[in-house]
Structures are given as C-alpha cells and as structure tokens.
C-alpha cells in the first residue's frame, strides 16, 4: 500500500500545480464579476465587436491565394482567397490589428495543418479580425470558410488519426497523434466573423475548428460571431481556452467530440431568435464521445466553468418564430462526460438533456461521476424542462438537484447589469452589487486538481470494470496480459481491498456499502483509476 499512496500523492501534487496554472478560482458564478463602474471587470471591453454587420473594415491591400510553405508574416488588410493551408513546418505570424477578409466566391478558408503554427497575437486595442469580404449590408453567416487548427494530440478515432469534417480529405486535413502537449501556436485577441460556408453540400466548417490541438497551444480572448455552423468545435485534443465569446451563431455554440479533454473557463454566449440551423437542432452545448456513442478512449470529458449563456428567448420576453430549430442549453449524449460548473443559463426552451441511460455516464466516470453539472443556475425555465433524461426523477434528484444546481433563482436575482439589450448593441454581462450569484462558486479539489492527472494515464487504456453499477460482483478486465497491483478505495481515500492480478479478475463486493468507489491500478510508476458504483 505504501507505494500506491506514494504514487497517488505524486499525482495529486502534479495535478494541483497544473490546475493552479489554468483555473482562476472565483467567488461569482457566470463569466463576469460584479462591476466596479470601470471597464476593468469586463473582459470583452476594447476588442470584442457586437455589431460586425455594420463595421467598415476598409478595402483589402493584399491578396493571399496560395498555400503557406515557409515562415510568413501578415499585416494590413488581406483578402483570403481559396482554401489556404499553412503547411507542415511553416509558421504564419499575424501582426496586431491585421484584418483578414474571407472571399465568398472561392470559399476562402485558413487551415493550419499538423506540424505547423499560427502566431495570431493581437492586443486589446488592436485585435486581429477574420471577417467577410462582403460589404456592409450584405454580410451574413457562412460568407467564407473559417479558421481550422489541426494538431498531433490524441483523439478516439480508429488508429488515432482522422480527417477534419467539411473539407475533401487529403494529408493536409488529417489530425491526431500521441502528443497531448503539442503546440499549434497562439490565438489571442482574435475575432472570427461570418464564417461557416458549406464547402460541400450540408458540410460546413465552423467558425473555429480544433482537430486534436494540444495543450501547448494558447487560446485566449476569442470571439466567433455569425458562424454558419458551430461557433467552436473541438474534435479530440487537450487545448485549454479562456475568454471565449459565441455571438449569434447558427448551430451549436460549444460542440465537443472525439475525446476532447481540455478546459474552458469564462465564456459568453448570446443567441439570435432568427438564427437557427434548419437542418437540425441548435443547442448551446452539444457533446458526443463519437458518432456511435462508443466507449472509445480518450473519453470526451472537457471541463467548462464560468459560462454565461443566453438563448434565443433572451430574458423570456422574446417569442420564437415559427419553424425555429432551437433546443437545449446542454445536450450531452453518446457517452460524453463533459462537466459544467459555476455557470448561468437562461433563454433556452430546455435546460439540461442527458440522452440515454444515466448509468452510461456513471460508468464513463464524469468528474466525480455525479458532478458533471454542478453549481449552475438555470433561470426562467418552465418546470420539467431543466433536466431531461430517460429516468428523469432519479436523474434530477441524484445527479442534478443534489449537486448545488439551482433552478429557482430568477433573472432579477441574478442581477445582470445589461445582458438583454437589442442585438447589435453591446451587452454587459457583469453582475450588479446585489446579485445573489456574486458568491457561491464551487471548485471541488477532486475535479479541479487530480481529475485531469488521473484522466491522462492511459497505460492500461483498455482496462474496464463491469457491471457498473455493481449489484455485488465486479469484474476488472485489463484487456492485456500484465500483472498489476489493485486497491479498492472509496472517494475519501479509505482502502478496502488490495491484491495483485493478471488479465481479468472477478471480485465479491457485497461487503461494500452502496456508493462510489475507485479501482486503483498500479504497475511500476504508472497509476490508472477506474470509478465504479456499488448499488445493491
């Protein structure tokens, strides 16, 4: 046992340092604190634009129409013509204040391939802008392609390599590898507007698409507006993101797939009642492990915290048009295990939808298993629409209501400064001094520290426990012929059983009380944890 505890202690120290380097612990829920009367508490100030339809960006001075094969720097006002690939080994540097206008006729798009980099670091006063080349009055979602970043981090597709959707497959569209720390560059103080053109029938690319982008990449202060598909979509990878805005997009705002396991903190989402995807339902969050809902590793299990999302109904006074395709604030399906914390949600027809049997999500090991939706406020939802699942009462009581999620606080009690102005004017999502959510945020140590360290251990990447929940018997199957040490531990760290095993072993766990446990598997200096529930 001593060696097991030593290993776990080392993991916890590593994870705490990692978390301290990313998470900012807040007292408040949502994306913004209480205003102090200055712009300092509004992180959208100075660089974001809530009226790009009517912004005069000036005439282009340079046209880029061929791929980038050597280190290149952009500045001025650029016309982006054709699908432009930043080829392997090349770095594209974009100077602060540069404007890139995507050409509609040639489906202008920028694809940063595996092994290349984009260094797009604007400033608060001089953001970098990707936008439409159409004139004021003619701009709309899907005017040009979008920005695509491809990297060498892991995904859960067969063989670990896939091709990004919406573009004819070539070597330049591939993403995936084994380097979760891969670095695709920097996106900071960047706006992306009117992207999402259909490059093939019904195959749009998103405003900002990530394919297996690694944690060495910096993404901070990015706004996607009027995307013709999803505003942001992550296909696998581990990239962390902060200060994201999704404004008046057409389909989903945050879409996670193929094993994305990064972290996102501080996000503002605002929808337009007249913009939804006619081809399918439009959600704020949509998440799948993969298209088949398999248990392939790595699991889609990103963590989101401090998000403010306003659906098409706004403060509830907006009537939706006939034929609209809006659906849910959170659509979690197909064995996905994303987690959402400390967030404020309003203006959607339905709140949180867990599609499928919730046992799938328990088995998937979503953060602390029962905490994947925690310390959130769902305001102004009709009774019965906040949480939707195959067995709604059980889900609501044990996995939603008991986790400090709140569906009784009103919009007036939240007290946003000015979150519901007319579209096209600047919102203010900060909190008033008397807001009831200026305190109460939760950052549990088991989620915001050691979870990611445990999740990153993939030595025994095919190991499973079943049945889960267990009614008295539990099988541990390593799916490989190797000898390991196993400890059965509860969530407080108390050990009940320790033994060695090889390959597969069935245990009698009738002596364990109902609840959540961990099977800690150790070999040499590698530790993997599988979570399971005893329910007799």
Domain membership of residue 43 (yes or no) is yes
**What is the model's pLDDT at position 392?**
54
Better-predicted residue by pLDDT, 47 or 519 = 47
CATH number at 7 reads: 2.60.40.3080
- Residues 178, 250, single domain; the answer is yes
Arithmetic mean of pLDDT, 177-187: 95
- Residues 469, 421, single domain; the answer is no
**What is the model's pLDDT at position 287?**
93
**What is the model's pLDDT at position 370?**
41
Domain membership of residue 78 (yes or no) is no
Mean pLDDT, the chain, as a whole number?
Answer: 86
Helix (H/G/I), strand (E/B), else coil: 212: coil
Instruction: Say if residue 106's pLDDT is above 90.
Output: yes
State phi, psi for 149 to the nearest 5 degrees: -115, 125
Cα 269 to Cα 303: distance, rounded to the nearest angstrom: 17
- Residues 321, 227, single domain; the answer is no
Domain membership of residue 95 (yes or no) is no
- Residues 149, 254, single domain; the answer is yes
Domain membership of residue 238 (yes or no) is yes
Least confident among 24-33, 351-360, 441-450: 351-360
The pLDDT tens digits for 248-300 are 999 999 999 999 999 999 999 999 999 999 887 899 999 999 988 887 888 88
Instruction: Say if residue 400's pLDDT is above 80.
Output: no
Instruction: Name the burial class of residue 314, with classes exposed (0-12), middle (13-18) and buried (19+) by CB atoms within 10 angstroms of its CB.
Output: buried
Arithmetic mean of pLDDT, 197-214: 85
Instruction: Say if residue 391's pLDDT is above 60.
Output: no
Domain membership of residue 244 (yes or no) is yes
Per-residue CA distances from 464 to 8, 174, 265, 479, 528 (Å)? 20, 30, 31, 8, 11
**What is the model's pLDDT at position 197?**
87
Instruction: Say if residue 357's pLDDT is above 70.
Output: no
- Residues 248, 172, single domain; the answer is yes
**What is the model's pLDDT at position 536?**
84
Arithmetic mean of pLDDT, 427-443: 95
**What is the model's pLDDT at position 272?**
97
Domain membership of residue 375 (yes or no) is yes
Instruction: Say if residue 328's pLDDT is above 50.
Output: yes
**What is the model's pLDDT at position 4?**
33
**What is the model's pLDDT at position 396?**
59
Arithmetic mean of pLDDT, 336-352: 91
pLDDT category at 371 given cuts 50, 70, 90 is low
The pLDDT tens digits for 474-522 are 999 887 777 888 888 887 667 788 888 988 899 999 999 988 888 888 8
Cα 175 to Cα 14: distance, rounded to the nearest angstrom: 28
Contact 109, 199 (CB under 8 A): yes
- Residues 410, 308, single domain; the answer is yes
- Residues 257, 311, single domain; the answer is no
Q: Name the residue range of residue 426's domain.
A: 26-68+304-440
How would DSSP label each residue in 375-425? S-EEESPPTT-SEE-TTHHHHIIIIIGGGT-BS---HHHHTEEE----TTS
Domain end residue (candidates: 407, 440, 473): 440
Domain count, the chain: 3
Domain membership of residue 45 (yes or no) is yes
**What is the model's pLDDT at position 389?**
64
- Residues 371, 246, single domain; the answer is no
**What is the model's pLDDT at position 280?**
78
Domain membership of residue 104 (yes or no) is no
**What is the model's pLDDT at position 258?**
96
Arithmetic mean of pLDDT, 511-535: 81
**What is the model's pLDDT at position 368?**
39
**What is the model's pLDDT at position 8?**
36
Domain end residue (candidates: 236, 266, 296): 266
The pLDDT tens digits for 108-156 are 999 999 999 999 999 999 999 999 999 999 999 999 999 999 999 999 9
Percentage of the chain modeled with pLDDT above 90: 60
Helix (H/G/I), strand (E/B), else coil: 177: coil
- Residues 403, 519, single domain; the answer is no
- Residues 436, 474, single domain; the answer is no
Domain end residue (candidates: 266, 287, 313): 266
Instruction: Name the burial class of residue 238, with classes exposed (0-12), middle (13-18) and buried (19+) by CB atoms within 10 angstroms of its CB.
Output: buried
- Residues 434, 322, single domain; the answer is yes
Arithmetic mean of pLDDT, 164-189: 95
pLDDT category at 227 given cuts 50, 70, 90 is very high
- Residues 231, 344, single domain; the answer is no
């Amino acid at each position: 046992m001593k060696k097991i505890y030593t290993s776990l202690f080392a993991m916890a120290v590593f994870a705490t340092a990692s978390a301290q380097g990313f998470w900012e612990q807040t007292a408040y829920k949502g994306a913004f604190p209480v205003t102090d009367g200055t712009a300092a508490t509004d992180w959208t100030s100075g660089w974001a634009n809530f009226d790009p339809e009517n912004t005069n960006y000036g005439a282009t001075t340079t046209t880029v129409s061929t791929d980038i094969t050597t280190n290149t720097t952009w500045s001025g006002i650029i016309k982006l013509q054709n699908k432009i690939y930043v080829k392997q080994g090349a770095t594209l540097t974009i100077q602060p204040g540069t404007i890139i206008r995507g050409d509609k006729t040639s489906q202008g798009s920028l694809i940063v391939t595996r092994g290349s980099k984009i260094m797009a670091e604007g400033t608060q006063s001089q953001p970098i802008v990707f936008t439409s080349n159409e004139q004021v009055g003619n701009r709309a979602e899907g005017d040009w392609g979008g920005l695509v970043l491809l990297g060498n981090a892991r995904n859960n597709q067969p063989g670990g390599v896939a091709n990004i959707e919406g573009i004819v497959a070539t070597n330049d569209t591939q993403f995936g590898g084994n380097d979760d720390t891969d670095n695709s560059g920097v996106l900071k103080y960047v706006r992306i507007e009117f992207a999402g053109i259909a490059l093939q029938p019904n195959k749009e690319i998103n405003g900002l698409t990530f394919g297996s982008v690694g944690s060495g990449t910096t993404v901070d202060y990015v706004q996607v507006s009027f995307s013709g598909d999803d505003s942001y979509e992550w296909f696998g990878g581990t990239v962390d993101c902060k200060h994201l805005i999704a404004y008046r997009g057409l389909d989903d705002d945050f879409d996670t797939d193929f094993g994305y396991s990064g972290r996102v903190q501080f996000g503002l989402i605002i929808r337009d009642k007249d913009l939804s995807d006619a081809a399918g339902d439009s959600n704020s969050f949509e998440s799948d492990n993969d298209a088949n809902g398999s248990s392939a590793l790595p699991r889609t299990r990103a963590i989101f915290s401090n998000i403010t999302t306003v659906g098409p109904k706004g403060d509830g006074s907006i009537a939706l048009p006939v034929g609209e395709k809006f659906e849910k604030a959170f659509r979690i399906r197909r064995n996905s295990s994303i987690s959402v914390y400390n967030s404020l949600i309003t203006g959607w027809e339905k709140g949180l939808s867990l599609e499928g049997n919730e046992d799938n999500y328990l088995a998937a090991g979503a953060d602390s298993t029962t905490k994947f939706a925690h310390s959130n406020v769902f305001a102004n939802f009709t009774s019965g629409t906040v949480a939707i699942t195959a067995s709604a009462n059980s889900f609501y009581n044990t996995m939603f209501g008991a986790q400090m999620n709140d569906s009784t606080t009103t919009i007036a009690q939240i007290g946003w400064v000015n979150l519901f102005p007319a579209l096209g004017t600047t919102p203010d999502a900060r909190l008033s001094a008397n807001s009831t959510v200026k305190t109460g945020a939760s950052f549990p140590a088991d989620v915001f520290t050691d979870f990611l360290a445990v999740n990153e251990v993939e030595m025994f990447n095919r190991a499973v426990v079943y049945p889960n929940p267990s009614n008295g018997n539990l099988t541990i199957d390593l799916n490989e012929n190797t000898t390991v040490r196993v400890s059965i531990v509860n969530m407080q760290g108390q050990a009940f059983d320790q033994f060695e095993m090889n390959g597969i072993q069935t245990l009698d766990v009738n002596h364990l009380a109902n609840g959540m446990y961990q099977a800690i598997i150790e070999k040499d200096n590698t530790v993997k944890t599988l979570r399971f529930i005893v329910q007799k």
